[in-house]
A and B are shown apart, each in its own frame.
Chain A
């Protein structure tokens, strides 16, 4: 996290959970960055990362695990999906490089 702050980067967590659930989750895992609620799935839809899940015979849709890096111009610099996206190291190094490149 210190590395990220040094490279002018913020982290936003996003899921379909309610703010109340996210508040409890943030407390449990001790995150300091905001956890955002995409309860009507509009962002997940816009980003095309809704994934169908089958739970006990019923179909549900929520997020595929995804990490996206957006630079200061609002452009996407990095996309990582699936279980590999649990490891934040590659996203962190993208941000460190962005920081070096722009020097800001």
Chain B
């Protein structure tokens, strides 16, 4: 029984250690990757494949629509 408790404590410590290490790594990351673009700049044009496998070109909207470009981190990550 005593040995079992010791093992549990060791495991808890190990896990705690990992968690602390992960937090430290996260803090070292740059908070933000600053874009090089500023308000007033012309947005670089692009052509990309949409989720229906058709291409979408940014300049196709010129003179027609305002465009919100929403860059998200990864699909299925909630944000």
Q: Contact check: which of B33, B68, B73 meets A67 at CB < 8 Å?
A: B68
Q: In the complex, how many residue pairs between chain A and chain B have their CB atoms under 8 Å apart?
A: 198
Report whether A74 and B43 are in contact in the complex, using a CB–CB cutoff of 8 Å: yes
Sort chain A's interface into a size bin: 35 or more
With contact pairs A9-B68, A64-B71 given, residues A82 and B31 touching in the complex (Cβ less than 8 Å): yes
Contact call A11/B70, Cβ cutoff below 8 A: yes
The dominant DSSP class at the B interface is loop
Report how many residues on chain B are interfacial, defined by Cβ distance under 8 Å. 46
Residues in chain B near residue A70, CB distance under 8 A? 43, 58, 61, 66-69
Measured between beta carbons, the chain B residues less than 8 angstroms from A34 are 50-52, 56
A binding-site residues for B, Cβ under 8 Å:
4, 7-17, 19, 21-26, 28, 34-39, 42-44, 46-54, 62-79, 81-83, 85-86, 88, 91-92, 95, 98-99
